[in-house]
Structure 1
Amino acid sequence: MWGCRLSAVPARPERALVALGLGSNHAPERHLLHALAALAHDFAPLRLAAPVVGPDTLHGGADYANWVCSFVTDWPEERLRSRLQALEQACHRQKGAAVTLDVDLLYFAGADGVRCHRQCLEPYWLAGLAQLLPEERPEPKGANFAERWRAMQALGKVDLRPWWAWACNGLSPLA
Structure 2
Amino acid sequence: MINRTSSGNNGFGKDCATLKDIVIKEKYKKTVSGKNFLLYDSGESDPNRIIILGTLDNLLLLNSEEVWYANGTFDISPEVFTQVFTINVVINNKNIPLIYALLPNKEEITYSKVIPFVPVRDVIFVFKQLSCTAPAEIKDLFGYFEKNYIGLIKEKEASLRSVPSFPIQTWNVFDRDQKTP
TM-score w.r.t. the length of structure 1 is 0.33
TM-score w.r.t. the length of structure 2 is 0.32
- Greater relative CO, 1 or 2 (CA 8 Å, sep 6+): 1
Higher strand fraction (1 or 2): 1
